[in-house]
Amino acid sequence: MRVSDNTSAGSVKDALRRTRGRLERLQIQNATQKKLVTPSDDPAGNSKILDIRTQATVNSQFANNGAMAKNRLQFADTALNELYDIFVRAKEIAINQSSGASASVDSRLGVAQEVTALYQQLLSIANRRVGEQYLFGGFKTLSAPYTPTGEYRGDNGEMPIEIQKGVYVPINVPGPVAFQIQRYKSEDQARSPAAVDKTQNSAAAPGEPPPSEQQGVPSIETIDAFKEIDALRVGLLTNDTITIRDTMERLDELIKNTITVRAKVSARSNSIDQAIGASEKADLSNAELATQIEDADYTELWSNLAKEETILRSSLSAAQKLIQPTLLDFLK
């Protein structure tokens, strides 16, 4: 079978084209330091790389959410720490001024001024803001949650923020959680809630609502920070040692509640740190995997480059001899 010159030339050109294509691809890999130049190089690997990049973007947003949440919680923790100091100082004053042996009318009048200042500090903390948003207003972050008389105008909403997929952490503390305590009356504290409700409901007269729903007979009493500080002030101004003593136990409950709320805030901050740490570990693992899939192996790359260059030179040399016919070739 006779092979024509056109067939030989076509075969040589096709071989050279393939060799130059492989060499060009290796040169691009060398320039980009990536072995995946096009999706067709490794469809499965390319799909994994896209998933890793998407996850990295999502984790970056979660990290931003976590940073913002930690900032809000740190402001709340600072405010609660100041609140704790106010309650502790108020209790110290109540203890010192509750006895006639350690205090007098004049000393109580003088200390009442300090308690008035404590009340103003309390109000300032209750209406503290982060930027333009109030800390203790619940969802109502654009208006002051507390009036000068200590009346709450916010709500009990807790604003959650996503720090991991499906994991939400509240970033605020509603005012009633920090400044109020609801508990059963002192005579009912040793009994279970069910027993208290049963006794009160059975005590209602026929046709009347249970005592828990009657006006002036609540089953739960509320300890309000503003009322207790103001009661202490009034007790000092009126030289009423009984009122002063009554605030001591309630201030102690407010101190305990502040410690509890701070512990919850710290737990939220810890959970954010753990979530951010888990995301960082996941990003590190994904980066290592992406390197294995996407980055070029220099040893292999340079070896292949040298091999393809040698092949190209050999092909050019062979083609030069093959496709240069002589006059003798035409005479055959």
Confidence of residue 285 (pLDDT cuts 50, 70, 90): confident
CA 296, CA 26: separation in Å to the nearest integer?
10
Range with the largest mean pLDDT of 45-49, 112-116, 194-198: 112-116
CA 165, CA 172: separation in Å to the nearest integer?
20
Domain 54-179+224-286 belongs to what topology?
f41 fragment of flagellin, N-terminal domain (1.20.1330)
The proportion of the chain whose per-residue pLDDT surpasses 70, expressed as a percent, equals 66
Q: Which of 18, 22, 21, 46 is nearest to 34 (CA)?
A: 46
What residue ranges do the domains of the chain occupy?
Answer: 54-179+224-286, 298-332
pTM: 0.70
Q: Which of 228, 280, 236 is nearest to 87 (CA)?
A: 228
42-53 tens-digit pLDDT: 677 778 777 888
Written as one string, the DSSP assignment of 134-201 is: ETTSTT--SS-SB-TT--B-S-----EEEEETTEEEE----HHHHHEEEEE-GGGTTS-HHHHHHHHH
Written as one string, the DSSP assignment of 83-150 is: HHHHHHHHHHHHHHHS-TTT--HHHHHHHHHHHHHHHHHHHHHHT-EETTEETTSTT--SS-SB-TT-
166-191 tens-digit pLDDT: 889 999 999 999 999 988 765 545 44
Q: Are 137 and 261 in contact (CB under 8 A)?
A: no
Question: For residue 223, which phi and psi values (nearest 5 degrees)?
Answer: -100, 115
Average pLDDT over residues 239-250: 91
The DSSP call for residue 41 is: G
Q: Are 126 and 180 in contact (CB under 8 A)?
A: no
What is the residue-averaged pLDDT of the chain? Answer: 79
Confidence of residue 283 (pLDDT cuts 50, 70, 90): confident
The proportion of the chain whose per-residue pLDDT surpasses 90, expressed as a percent, equals 42
CA 233, CA 6: separation in Å to the nearest integer?
111
Question: For residue 160, which phi and psi values (nearest 5 degrees)?
Answer: -85, 150
Q: Is 203 helix (H, G, I), strand (E, B) or coil?
A: coil
